[in-house]
Chains A and B, each alone.
Chain A
Amino acid sequence: MTGEALLSRDAFLLAQELKLFWSVAILYGLCFLIGLFYLLTGKETLGRWVTGGLWATVALHTLLIIFRTVEGGRPPFQSLYETLSWFAWSATATYLYVHSKWKGGVHFPGFIVAGISAGACFYSLLTRSPEITPIPPALRSPWYEWHVVIAFAAYAVFVVSFAVEVSHLLFERRFPWRGRAFGFPAQGFYRYAHRLNLFGFPMLAFAVFSGAAWANDAWGRYWSWDPKETWSLITWTVYAMYLHTKAIPTWRENASPALNILGFVCMVITFLGVSWLAKLLGIPSMHAYAV
C-alpha cells in the first residue's frame, strides 16, 4: 500500500471510530435519562434498564477501545480525547463489576455513573480532536502504561465509591422513606464505599509514586510542585483523611462521607481542572501533553 492509500485508510477508520464513539456517548446519555425517570418515578423496571443499558454500552465501548488501540498501534490513553473515553469506560466497567456483587435491586448509583460517563464522552467529542498522534518523546517510557492504567483504575474506583456514597446519603440517611422504592436500605451496601476507597487508595499511591519515579528518570527531579503533581497529592491526602476519619467513631458518620465526596471533586480537578486552572492562571505545567 502506498503512503497515500494508508492515509486514506486511516481517514476512513477514524470516521467509523467517531460514529462508534458518538453512539457510545448517546447510549450513556440515554442511560442517564432513563435514570432520571427512575429517580422521578421510583419504578424498579427503569432501574434495571439503567443497569442493562450500561452493560450494553460498556460492551460497545470495549469495542471502541479495541478499535482505537488497533488504529493507533499504541495504548488508547495519550491525549485528553482518549483518556476521557478510557475514564468513562473504566468507571462504568468497575461499577458493573461492583454492582454484580450487591444483593437486592439497587440500581441508583448506575444513574450517577452513567451521568459521569456521558459527561466525559461528550466533553471529549465536543472539545477535543480525535486525531491520532504518535507517542511523543516525553511519553516514551516504561512507566507510561503502568502509571496511566493504575491512575485511571483508581479514578474508576473513586467514581463508584462517590456514587455509592451519594446514594447512601440520599436514600439511607436523608430521605429514607423515598429509599424503599430504590431498594434501600440495602444490607451491606454502604460498606462498599469504604471498601472501594481502601482498594483505590494504594492504587492512587502507586500512581503518585510511579509519576515521581518517571519524573526522576525524565527530568532528574522526582517532584516539581507542578499543578498536576500537587493536585494528585491533594487527592491522595483527602482520601488519607477519609480513611483516618473512618477510624474515629465520632467522625465516621459525617466527616467520612463529606471527605469521600471532596476526594471525588479533587480527583476531577486532578484529571481535568488542573489544565483549566493552569490556563486560567497562566501557570506553566510540565504535563501539557495531557491537555
Chain B
Amino acid sequence: MPSDFSSKLRKTSSSLKTSVWLLAAMCVFFILGTIFPQGTELKDYMEAGGKFVPFVKWFNLLGIFTSPLFLILSGLLSVNLLVCIYDRWRAMKKRPAYIPEGQFFMNPKVVEMAAPEDALLLRAKEMRFKEKYSAEGIHVLEKGLPFRWLSWIYHLGIVVAILGFLSTALFAFEEEITLYKGKPVKISLYSPDTRWNKFKKALGMSPPEEKKEKEYEAALLAFETEYTEALKVDYPKEPLTRLALGLGFRPLMGEGKPEVSYSPKMWLSRISLKTPREKAVKGALWVNRPYRFRGLTLYQMGFEQDITLLVDGKPLKIKSMEPFEIKGMEGKFITGMAKTGKVYKKDGMVEKFTPFFELKHTGKDGRKKELGKLVQGKPERFLGKRFLFKGMEEASGLSYRIDPGVTFISISVWLLFAGLLLRSLGYWGRIQIVVKEGKTYALLSTRGLLANGEKIMAKLKGE
C-alpha cells in the first residue's frame, strides 16, 4: 500500500535508530579519510606503494569528502535531521498538557504520596514550580529551561552547519601567493575554479565575468622574523638513562656552558594593498592575526628563504630547508632555517642576528653529518671546500580565501553550542500530581545535570 509505504518511510527517516546508523556510516567515511591521504593523485598513491588501487579508485578514497557516496550519505543525514526537526516541532506544538491517566499509571516512576494534593501543590510552588495545567484531580507543574526546544535548537544548528559546509564546498576558493620585495602580485576576489562555476561550465552556462574593481595588487614592504632564546636540552633517548636521570643518579646537563636554542616567536609581513582606483593602504599581518581589507583577508602561512652560497668561489642559489647538490661533491646538503631578525635573549636583551644557518650533509651511504654553522660573510671549510654564506632574500608566503560558508558556520556554532550546553546542564523539572480513589500520586521528570531528581522528590515528600 503506498500510504503504508510512505508512513513507514516517514517513520524510518525520523527515527533515532536511523540517525545512529547514519552517524555510524559517517564515522566509517571519516576514518577512511584519515587512512588514505586526501588530495593525493592516484599516480602518487601508486608510486608510494599503495596496495588498494582498485578499491581506492572505485570509492574515490583519495578525495573521499567530495565523493558521491559521502555526499549521498550527508544528504541522507540532512534529510533525517530535517524530518526529525519537523516532527519534533509538530510534536512540541501538539504536546498534551498532561500525561493521560492510563499512561501515567504505567510509568514505574509514579510514587504514591503520603501528603494530600494541596500540600504537594504548596511544596512544589515553594520550589518555584509553576502550574501549567490544573483540573480536578490532575495538576502539572513545571520549572526550568525548555529542554525540548533547546534540543530542537541545536539540531537546527547542525542543519545550518551542513548548509555552511555545502556553501563552502560550492563557492569557496583559496589561493596562495609568495611575495618578494619589489615584486607585487595581483589578487582577485573571483575565481572561475569554484565548484559552482565548474558546474555551470559543465552545463554549458558561462560563469560570471571577473570584475576589475574586485582586483588588488599586493606588495611586500618588509618581512620580519623574531626568535626567543631558550635552554637547549640534550635529553637521552634510552629509557634506563632517562630513569637514572629522573632518580638523580645522572646529571641532566653535562659540564661546561649550557647550550642555547632559538625558537621562532613571530613572522610578520608588512604589506601594501592597492585597488585600481584607490591609493595603496599599508598593513601588517602575522600568524593568527590576518589582515582584512574590504572583503579580502590575507593570512600569514609561512616564508621562503633564498640563500646565495659561494662554494670555492662559485655562486650557488639554494632554498633553506630544501636538499641540494654541489657539483663535484658526493651526497646531498641541506640547511636549517636561516636565522635572521631579532632575538629575545634570556637576560631580557633584544639583539639582532647576523644571519646564519646550520649546514648538514647526507653521504652516499645515507650517513648524516652536521657540518656546522655558516654565518653571513664568514667563510668556513667543510669537506675540503670553502663555503661562504653571501646573502639571502626572504619572501612571505600568504594565502587568501573567499568563503561564504563561514557566516552559516558562525551562526550554527552559536545555536549548537548554546543549545547543547543549556540542554545538558540546564535545569528542567516537571511534576504531575494525580488524585485517584482518595490517594495522591506524583510523577517527577527531570532533565539537565543541575536538576537533582532525588532532592526534588525528597522536598516534595516533605523530608
Q: A-B contact count, CB below 8 Å?
A: 179
| A4 pairs with B258, CB closer than 8 A | yes
Of all chain A residues, the one with the shortest Cβ separation from B240 is: A126
| A220 pairs with B233, CB closer than 8 A | no
B232 at the A interface (CB under 8 A): yes
Chain B 109-138 interface residues, beta-carbon cutoff 8 Å to A: none
Interface residue tally for chain B (C-beta within 8 Å): 73
Q: How far is the CA of A133 from the CA of B262 in the complex (A)?
A: 9
Of all chain B residues, the one with the shortest Cβ separation from A284 is: B37
Cβ distance A206 to chain B, nearest Cβ, rounded Å? 6
- A237 and B399 in contact (CB under 8 A), knowing A136-B263, A137-B266, A137-B286? no
B261 at the A interface (CB under 8 A): yes
Q: How far is the CA of A154 from the CA of B63 in the complex (A)?
A: 31
| B20 pairs with A225, CB closer than 8 A | no
Cβ distance B353 to chain A, nearest Cβ, rounded Å? 15
Q: For residue B174, which residues in chain A have a CB less than 8 angstroms away from its CB?
A: 220-221
B35 at the A interface (CB under 8 A): yes
Q: How far is the CA of A284 from the CA of B349 in the complex (A)?
A: 37
A222 at the B interface (CB under 8 A): yes
A219 at the B interface (CB under 8 A): yes
| B417 pairs with A19, CB closer than 8 A | no
Chain A 238-291 interface residues, beta-carbon cutoff 8 Å to B: 238, 240-241, 244-245, 247-248, 251, 255, 274, 277, 281-284
Q: How far is the CA of A230 from the CA of B70 in the complex (A)?
A: 14
| A125 pairs with B242, CB closer than 8 A | yes
A233 at the B interface (CB under 8 A): yes
| A213 pairs with B258, CB closer than 8 A | no
Write out, one digit per residue, whether chain B residues 320-355 have a CB within 8 A of any chain A CB (1) or not (0).
Answer: 000000000000000000000000011101000000
- A219 and B299 in contact (CB under 8 A), knowing A18-B252, A134-B263, A205-B420? yes
Q: How far is the CA of A140 from the CA of B297 in the complex (A)?
A: 19
| B233 pairs with A131, CB closer than 8 A | yes
B26 at the A interface (CB under 8 A): yes
Q: For residue A251, which residues in chain B have a CB less than 8 angstroms away from its CB?
A: 17, 20
Q: For residue B23, which residues in chain A have a CB less than 8 angstroms away from its CB?
A: 237, 240-241, 244
| B33 pairs with A230, CB closer than 8 A | yes
| A137 pairs with B265, CB closer than 8 A | yes
Write out, one digit per residue, whether chain B residues 273-293 have a CB within 8 A of any chain A CB (1) or not (0).
Answer: 000000000000011111000
- A132 and B406 in contact (CB under 8 A), knowing A198-B449, A281-B37? no
Majority SS at the chain B contact face: mixed
Q: How far is the CA of A125 from the CA of B242 in the complex (A)?
A: 8
- A282 and B417 in contact (CB under 8 A), knowing A6-B346, A7-B260, A15-B251? no
Give the segment of B198-206, B223-231, B387-395 that binds chain A: B223-231
A69 at the B interface (CB under 8 A): no
B243 at the A interface (CB under 8 A): yes
- A3 and B288 in contact (CB under 8 A), knowing A137-B266, A222-B406? no
Q: How far is the CA of A2 from the CA of B346 in the complex (A)?
A: 8
Write out, one digit per residue, whether chain A residues 175-216 have a CB within 8 A of any chain B CB (1) or not (0).
Answer: 000000000000000000001001101100110010011101
| A133 pairs with B242, CB closer than 8 A | no
A21 at the B interface (CB under 8 A): yes
Q: How far is the CA of A242 from the CA of B457 in the complex (A)?
A: 28
Q: For residue B248, which residues in chain A have a CB less than 8 angstroms away from its CB?
A: 19
Q: Give 11 CB contacts A-B under 8 Å.
A: A11-B231, A14-B231, A15-B251, A15-B252, A18-B245, A22-B243, A131-B235, A136-B264, A220-B299, A221-B401, A230-B33
Ranked 8 nearest A-B pairs via Cβ? A22-B246, A137-B287, A134-B228, A220-B401, A7-B258, A15-B252, A131-B233, A3-B347
